[in-house]
Structure 1
Amino acid sequence: MKMKSALHLCLLFLGLQAQGQHGSSLNEQQEQKILHFPEDHSQAEGENLAHVKIAPSNAEFAFKFYKQVREEVGNKNIFFSPLSISTAFAMLSLGARSNTLHQLHKGLAFNLTEIEEHEIHEGFQRVLQLLNDPHREIQLNMGNTLFIDDQLKLLQKFLDDVTNFYYSEAISSKLQNSAEAVKEINKYIETKTHGKIVDLLESLDDETMMVLVNYIFFKGYWEKPFNNLATRDDDFLLDAKNSVKVKMMHQNKAFNIHRDEQLSCWVVEIPYKGNGTSLFVLPDEGTMKQVEDSLLKETVSNWMQSLKKRKIYLDLPKFSISGSYDVKSLFKKMGVTDVFSDLSEVAEKTHLQVSKAIHKAMVDVSENGTEAAAVTVIELVPLSAEFPPPPHIKFNRPFLMLIFDKISHSILFMGKIVNPAAKEN
């Protein structure tokens, strides 16, 4: 007799204290398809480029998911890790077949006429290798863990694949003892996210036999820290009539910037030390929806390729926000439904289903990117008459933020900051 159980899939992410820098480019045809920065250096010949093959799909998924979240939350802060969600569901697809598998591939923006199934998993395998390189300047960790009820026997192939491709830990747990299991999983999550995500799980369904956790933690230091002596109280305009007080940071330096006249927005790259970077996108007043509707991998690639170094007056608010999302509900609206009723290739004699999929992400942006470091830099620049004067780009109204890892061509996080003073979305 088949035991009908619920696989509780828990997705979570956490990051971050600020932001990065570098990547790589291939031939021209491939460059158009992946997110890359103009100064990227070529990859060493023969290096494993599996991650490049999945980059376009992961970017497409990020923007598709963003638009679904926007529809759900309306005019509120948004912040999530598309890579965390993609990785967890790609890993889960190892336990799916037929229609469920097809829906997952489609939902994650993978087209099997362009990429083979094994290449998807090899791509994520390579992303995980690149992100978890201990020699990086950025503190970046990403991983997967399966908490498995001790009554459940996983199929050996599924276990081998999730261990091989996704470096997943498998932890035997008494999930039927719900209170103890919740405590154990929450403690694990708290440790992996350096104390940033606490008590994420409130409860487990009675029939839960497996919990999948994906975490990502990012902590970066600005390549050019802001001087905290230049930070001032200022107004952030929520809309035409309302504003909130924020701590506004200031810099007067050269940054890679681009003015997109077609979409009426400024794009500013603020790099981290190491191989991470961020794009801050400031739509002109009243054009946020137009910019959001145009969020596609082609748009962002175009921005990246159009960046030019120029001195600017930059104002950016300090903020710390988080977002929590019911991924199950969002995925269903994106056409991924069967994974929540049948996963047949995970365990012996047991058809599992995803009963819950949750995602939480946090971001903390400040002068250094971390409270624990202070840098004093005195810069001397030649005095010159500047024509035209540097533009003043002031992020004092709703803006978008994307955080990239240039080595793996991955969008680690993305969000919209509508109110920097609001903690939760």
Structure 2
Amino acid sequence: MKTTFYISLLLAGLHVVAHGQLPPNHHNGHDPNEPKHHMHHAGEAIACLKLVPNNADFAFQFFKEVTLEAPNKNIFFSPVSISTAFAMLALGARSTTQTQILEGLTFNLTEIQEKEIHEGFHNLIHMLSHPESGVQLNIGNAIFLTEKLKPLKKFLDDAKALYQLEAFTTDFKNPTEAEKQINDYIERKTHGKITDLVKDMDPQTVMLLASFVFFKGNWEKPFKPEHTEEREFFVDAETTVKVSMMHQMGRFDFYFDEELSCTVVRLHYNGSATAFLVLPAKGKMKQLEQTLVKETVQEWSDHLFQSLMSLYFPKFSISGSYEITNILSKMGIVDVFTDQADLSGITGTPDLKVSKVVHKAALDVDERGTEAAAATAAEIMTVSLPPTVEFNRPFLILIFDRDTNSTLFIGKIVNPTITS
């Protein structure tokens, strides 16, 4: 019988607020899948960019599996958080277990070496942790171990150096104390956004791995609170809810994808993050969910153009909590959850497996923040009213970091009034 440990993947809150104003052409069409040319650390960027296509493939495959499991529910998760935690786990995995993890993260091991994968994640964490001003992004990993379990010095050293791992001794035999220690740590690291990550812990647990991301972004073009009004949101044919709808008139990056019947609007944050808001036509959400791939986002990026519009977008707070063992198994990561697991690179002995993977994410979107400086450039409006784009039915939100081209968050908002 293998000793088991939990992986708690956590994704912390994404909090979006309004701030500052810049001219509409400020970014000149940067897109999430294209490298920025003025990266500060060229070497880091190259290592990190090697991971980009694989991380993006993993993100959309995972999204597809989650939507199949929860077809009519709000979804919100961080692909980069899940990938990072499992790449770190691969450091301690051996033989088939290691191959399954890395291939499950969509890496082709004939094209990229394990060493390059870990270096890439190391640089990704470093670059995400030092983003441009205007975006607050903290990413990290922690391991909680029972006193009897002595991890190998090499594993701890490598995990600290590559994944900024913090290690703690925990008494899992006292589940209440263990839960408190872990939840307090995570709550502190995520600025209070993620609470009660672990509960009902099994006293047999010997190790828990936690991975977290905290994001706080300010809209480049803020929404004015006085323009927010209560409007209807159509959850489905039978259900309508009232939401606080933010409103802004101006020029926005816009594209209508005829093939997928969806409207795409791109909003920038100050700093290096970008949000794609995707509104499928009625009845077209399922088609979009099952066909969305990184090439789709690239196509949107290539075809966006500035369009004058009246934009309505809801204020909302949601969180998603997932036990993702089943989803990862479907993606080929199987042995690590069974008695076939070989995690001997962690403790030197093969009697260890992963019992449970928890991933929790939270998202807040609102218009709050410091108003733009007094000398803002006025938008020049035509006399005729611009077209209205209103996010008043289920939509997707994709958040990217432009510096590393990483998919930070993927969300599907079915009902903005349901918080979890």
Matched residue SS, 2:196? coil
1:197 maps to a residue whose letter is I
Q: Distance in 2 between matches of 1:381 and 1:159?
A: 54
Query: For structure 1, which runs of at least 5 residues remain unmatched after alignment?
Result: 26-30
**Aligned counterparts, 1:328-343, within 5 A:** 328-341=325-338, 342=341, 343=343
Q: Distance in 2 between matches of 1:291 and 1:62?
A: 15
Question: Any idea what the Cα deviations from partners look like across 1:236-289, whole Å, max 9, x if unmatched?
Answer: 011123210000111111111111111111111111011111000011111111
Question: Any idea what the Cα deviations from partners look like across 1:200-226, whole Å, max 9, x if unmatched?
Answer: 211322222211111100001100010
**Aligned counterparts, 1:255-266, within 5 A:** 255-266=252-263
Match of 1:418 among 410, 414, 417: 414
Matched residue SS, 2:297? helix
Partner of 1:397: 393
Contact 1:81 1:412 in 2 (8 A): yes
Deviation at 1:91, TM superposition (A): 0.4
Contact 1:266 1:282 in 2 (8 A): yes
Query: For structure 2, which runs of at least 5 residues remain unmatched after alignment?
Result: 19-25
Partner of 2:162: 165
Q: Distance in 1 between matches of 2:416 and 2:327?
A: 24
1:5 maps to a residue whose letter is T
Contact 1:51 1:409 in 2 (8 A): no
Which shifted more, 132-141 or 413-422?
132-141
Deviation at 1:24, TM superposition (A): 11
Q: Distance in 2 between matches of 1:400 and 1:188?
A: 31
Which shifted more, 393-402 or 108-117?
108-117
Question: Structure 2 length normalisation: TM-score?
Answer: 0.91
Structure 1 residues 7 and 177: alpha-carbon distance in aligned structure 2, compared to 1, 3 A threshold: same
Deviation at 1:381, TM superposition (A): 3.9
Structure 1 residues 320 and 44: alpha-carbon distance in aligned structure 2, compared to 1, 3 A threshold: closer
Question: Any idea what the Cα deviations from partners look like across 1:170-226, whole Å, max 9, x if unmatched?
Answer: 112223332211111111011011111112211322222211111100001100010
Matched residue SS, 2:351? strand
Alignment of 1:298 with 2:289, yes or no, is no
Deviation at 1:321, TM superposition (A): 0.6
Partner of 1:5: 3
Matched residue SS, 2:345? strand
For these two proteins, the number of residue pairs brought into alignment is 408
Contact 1:23 1:41 in 2 (8 A): no
Matched residue SS, 1:345? helix
Which shifted more, 239-248 or 275-284?
239-248
Question: Any idea what the Cα deviations from partners look like across 1:74-122, whole Å, max 9, x if unmatched?
Answer: 1111101111111001100111122111211121111112211111111
Structure 1 residues 216 and 422: alpha-carbon distance in aligned structure 2, compared to 1, 3 A threshold: same
Question: Any idea what the Cα deviations from partners look like across 1:290-346, whole Å, max 9, x if unmatched?
Answer: 211221011111111211122111110111111110111221222211011222221
Structure 1 residues 409 and 380: alpha-carbon distance in aligned structure 2, compared to 1, 3 A threshold: closer
Q: Distance in 1 between matches of 2:141 and 2:29?
A: 26
Deviation at 1:145, TM superposition (A): 0.7
Structure 1 residues 381 and 12: alpha-carbon distance in aligned structure 2, compared to 1, 3 A threshold: closer
Deviation at 1:408, TM superposition (A): 1.2
Partner of 1:36: 34
Matched residue SS, 2:219? coil
Deviation at 1:380, TM superposition (A): 3.0
Partner of 1:359: 359
Matched residue SS, 2:359? strand
2:219 maps to a residue whose letter is W
Structure 1 residues 191 and 44: alpha-carbon distance in aligned structure 2, compared to 1, 3 A threshold: closer
Contact 1:22 1:277 in 2 (8 A): no
Q: Distance in 2 between matches of 1:124 and 1:184?
A: 27
Q: Distance in 2 between matches of 1:50 and 1:256?
A: 30
Matched residue SS, 2:309? strand
Matched residue SS, 1:174? coil
Contact 2:134 2:269 in 1 (8 A): no
Partner of 1:28: none
Contact 1:24 1:41 in 2 (8 A): no
Structure 1 residues 178 and 23: alpha-carbon distance in aligned structure 2, compared to 1, 3 A threshold: farther
Deviation at 1:135, TM superposition (A): 5.7
2:118 maps to a residue whose letter is H
Deviation at 1:64, TM superposition (A): 0.6
Contact 1:23 1:406 in 2 (8 A): no
Q: Distance in 2 between matches of 1:207 and 1:45?
A: 44
**Aligned counterparts, 1:19-418, within 5 A:** 35-36=33-34, 40-43=36-39, 46-48=42-44, 49-133=46-130, 136-341=133-338, 342=341, 343-349=343-349, 351-368=351-368, 373-375=370-372, 380-382=378-380, 384=382, 390-418=386-414
Structure 1 residues 163 and 252: alpha-carbon distance in aligned structure 2, compared to 1, 3 A threshold: same
Structure 1 residues 127 and 283: alpha-carbon distance in aligned structure 2, compared to 1, 3 A threshold: same
Deviation at 1:22, TM superposition (A): 6.4
Matched residue SS, 1:323? strand
Partner of 1:18: 16
Q: Distance in 1 between matches of 2:327 and 2:54?
A: 18
Question: Any idea what the Cα deviations from partners look like across 1:30-59, whole Å, max 9, x if unmatched?
Answer: x9xx7238xx54546944211100011111
Q: Distance in 2 between matches of 1:153 and 1:24?
A: 50
Coordinate RMSD, CA, aligned: 2.3
Q: Distance in 2 between matches of 1:422 and 1:103?
A: 36
